[in-house]
Amino acid sequence: MMTRLLGKVKASIIIPTIDDKPMTLQYIDFKKLEEDNIELIIVKDRGWRNASRTRNIGAAVAKGEILCFIDDDAEFDFDELREIIQEALKESDKAFYWADAPHILIVKSDIFLSIGGYDERYPPRGAEAVEIRERLKKIGLELKMLNIRLRHLRDTWDEKHRLTTNKCLTWTYLEYGTYPLRRIMFRKNPVEFARRIIWLIEWLFTKRLRKRSIFYH
């Protein structure tokens, strides 16, 4: 679903979802969207179960100079978000705005596309938000933490999701040298150490065999 605006689109809000009516919509003022020339793009996952791909599809059709990605279960103050988007329009070449959980990313469209968007090799809830944060920092953009009222409406955290997130965080830290290798890999617990070795091997094969995103051919 996309909103249609009469004026030039300044920014695009992109919501990836598996639901017909994402919970996030209740916090968006549609009248103010029109006043600010901000388009709303809701992209429903069509079976690939990959939030990164869903976000990338939204970005591929977005018309705004600024892209604002929001999780579909985020509670926030819309006026605060509008102020951040207006600020981002002025500083889009220098900085990006980021929050982890619920995930929000505000970044210039040209920059987002130039780095290839979100990494689709990451499984659902696989720390892809941290990965794109590190990639944007690596090209020299300033990280600005999103300082607005924000919380998750859905809590589905369990052991499976914890392990998936830790695995993908390990992938990210290895890829970007965030921490020394010994700190990432070596663990006193032999089971945990073996798990890290398996994750490392899996990442080497994933990098080689899977395409990063729809923006790579």
Give the domain ranges of the chain: 11-152, 159-209
Residue-level pLDDT at 12: 97
What does each C-alpha distance from 204 to 175, 197, 200 come to in angstroms?
A: 10, 11, 6
Question: Which CATH number is 11-152 given?
Answer: 3.90.550.10
Q: Does the pLDDT at position 5 exceed 70?
A: no
pTM: 0.92
Q: Tell me the one-letter amino acid at 147.
A: N
The rounded distance, in Å, linking the Cα atoms of 98 and 95 is: 10
What is the chain's Cα-based Rg? Answer: 18
Residue-level pLDDT at 2: 59
Q: Does the pLDDT at position 46 exceed 90?
A: no
Question: How buried is residue 208: exposed, middle or buried, by Cβ count under 10 Å (0-12/13-18/19+)?
Answer: exposed
Strand partners, 7: none
On average, the pLDDT of the chain sits at 91
**Is 147:138 a contact under the CB 8 Å cutoff?**
no
Q: Out of 4-18, 55-69, 120-134, 185-199, which region has the weakest mean confidence (pLDDT)?
A: 4-18
Q: What's the whole-number mean pLDDT along residues 96-123? A: 95
DSSP-assigned states of every residue in 109-160: HHHHHHTTSS-TTSPTTSSHHHHHHHHHHHTTPEEEE--S-EEES-----HH
Strand partners, 14: 41, 69
